[in-house]
Amino acid sequence: MKRANSLFVSALPCICVSFAVPAFSQSAYLSGWDSVWNDEFNGWSIDDSRWEVAYRENSPNNELQFYLPDQVSVNGGQLHITATDQPYGSKQYRSGLVRTWQEHRYGRWEVRADLPWGQGMWPAIWLLPRDLNAAPWPTGGEIDIMENIGSNTYFVKGSYHYNWTPGTPITSNADYITGEDFAAGMHDYAVEWDPDQLRFYVDNNLYHTIDNPIQPNAQPMSLIINLAVGGDWPGNPDPSVFPQTFDIEYARYWSRDETELINPDFDRSGWAINGWNVFGNSSEVGNNVSVQSEAVLDGSHSLKLYGQFDEAENYSGVYQGIAVTEGQDVIADASAFIRSQDSIAGTSNELIMKLEYYSSFGAALGSPGFLGEIPILMADGTTTEDTWIPHQIVDIAPAGAVEARVSFVFRQPGQDAGAVHVDAVSLLASDPIPGDFDRNGSVDSLDFIAWQRDTNLGSLADWEANYGTPTLANSLAVPEPASITFALAALSHRVFRRRR
Ligand SMILES: [Ca+2]
Ligand SMILES: [Ca+2]
Ligand SMILES: [Ca+2]
Ligand SMILES: [Ca+2]
């Protein structure tokens, strides 16, 4: 986070000596996630209702530090963990470790931190079950959000460790290297843990994804932040580097909000398309399912889809679902764009948008949990190019539905070139408005006519109470002037499907 102080310094050199406002004062909103807790470390001591501060002589990995509460402090909007070359107990060095009392299984953890440096330093931000008797390590799993050794502060590592039996772990990990010195400034380290995927980020860059992680006995985990000294990985410290400090700007935790899409605007990029399930992404042609900035309706990126060129009819795209209940109004919106440089004019390529329903969350297309689908055509060889065209599916969740899923399917029957972009996706489910007897999202005179035909549709008192309630579609957002034309155009492309 660059601060703009230098501008003020040059213009008003006398005034702006200190500007001790933390970079963030509260947890940021993230689509698809609910903020559960965050600690911005704005006080003058650690919040011991949230954090356990270690007093611990012996740690694994032949580490050389004694963890002491005195090595942990909070000031200047940050948590500081300081390692010193001072013997204590049987140990040569002192350092600190904090861990949350709370534990969570699945979710998103993010910690912003500036690392220490020097031979022998081993800072870590990681997740581990508190009770290792219930699930002896590593059967309960261990997720290392960030680890580094101070002899090389130009990389950080993210890891997942597990095994079916206690003892040696099976590990999946990756290094993140950009040429930046992670001990010379603040960076965001995050993990998103879903039942079917683990994703590792630095500064919102996705650098490691584990699909269907094997979780022998996945346990709720607590967040640990510590600075080890010496031990098996870093080796013995260089005495000249002490003292060293691990500075933490904040720690935040979100749980999955299954009523909202994650990353509906494709702006939280990464080749694996954060939050979306990807299919038909062929390594042969290279990322025919990707996020790009070539054509954008909102934010900075959109989804780009093209064919796999595999000499057969093929399907490529993404999908994602939200939780619904039977009888809810469901509205799916998305816009498509064909760049004339990537034309599909005259080809047999097409892009289909689908609203699908499932009786169990995450069930496979065509499995017993699949209840049905509504497909619409978003683009084909006759579609106007170089313009965003909005599409909408309006429906009612059928009996047994627990998930509504939107999917975008690029179909390449031949081997034709060309691509289609998708952006500004929305998928919403809401309880019907009492009095909306024709179930079109608004309460008006047509509902009265519907009620006159069939008074079993509901109570006229509901109609009177809610008369004039605007349509759900119109109440989603007040369009900015530039997008009003899209909103108007959407009506003509709208697919309006009813099931009773
Ligand atoms: Ca540092
Ligand atoms: Ca802070
Ligand atoms: Ca976008
Ligand atoms: Ca109505």
Q: What is the pLDDT of residues 302-318, one digit of tens each?
A: 999 999 998 899 999 99
Phi, psi of 103 (to 5 degrees): -125, 150
User: Does residue 351 carry a pLDDT above 60?
Assistant: yes
With a cut of 80, say whether residue 18 has pLDDT above it.
Answer: no
Q: How far is the CA of 355 from the centre of ligand 2 (A)?
A: 42
Active site residue 147: yes
Q: HSE-up of 24 (CA within 13 Å, CB side)?
A: 18
- Give the residue range(s) of CATH 2.60.120.200 domains in the chain: 31-256
Tokens of 361: 């969350």
According to CATH, what is the number of the domain 31-256? 2.60.120.200
pLDDT in tens, 184-206: 999 999 999 988 889 999 998 88
Count of residues making up the chain: 500
Ligand nearest to the CA of 187: 1
Beta 419-430 vs 72-75: how paired, if at all?
unpaired
- Give yes or no for a contact between 446 and 496, defined as CB atoms under 8 angstroms apart: no
Question: Do 347 and 414 touch, CB atoms closer than 8 A?
Answer: yes
Q: How many separate helices (H) and strands (E) can be counted in the chain?
A: 5, 28
What mean pLDDT is predicted for residues 401-412?
A: 97
Q: What is the DSSP letter of 88?
A: B
Residues 6+ positions from 24 with CB-CB distance below 8 Å: 40, 249, 250
Return the CATH number of the domain spanning residue range 277-433+469-496. Answer: 2.60.120.260
Q: List the beta strands (DSSP E) in 341-466.
A: 350-358, 370-379, 389-396, 403-412, 419-430
C-alpha closest to that of 437 among 420, 455, 412, 423: 455
Ligand nearest to the CA of 115: 1
Task: Tell me the whole-structure pTM to 2 decimals.
Answer: 0.73
456, burial (CB in 10 Å: exposed 0-12, middle 13-18, buried 19+): exposed
Answer yes or no: 403 catalytic: no
- Per DSSP bridges, beta strands 97-100 and 93-95 are unpaired
Q: What is the mean pLDDT of the chain?
A: 88
Query: From the CA of 295, which ligand is nearest?
Result: 3
Per-residue confidence band for 29, with pLDDT thresholds at 50, 70 and 90: confident
Collapsing DSSP to helix, strand or coil, 460 comes out as helix
Q: What is the mean pLDDT of residues 390-407?
A: 95
110, 147, 192, 350: the active-site residue: 147
In angstroms, the CA 136 to CA 116 distance is 31
Residue 91, pLDDT > 50, answer yes
Token pair for 131: 């009770």
Q: Among positive and negative, which fits the CA dihedral 295, 296, 300, 303?
A: negative
Res 283: pLDDT:
75
Alpha carbon distances (Å) from 410 to 57, 232, 248, 353: 59, 50, 44, 9
Q: For the chain, how far is it from start to end, CA to CA, in angstroms?
A: 52
Q: How far is the CA of 468 from the centre of ligand 4 (A)?
A: 10
Looking at the chain, the domain(s) classified CATH 2.60.120.260 span 277-433+469-496
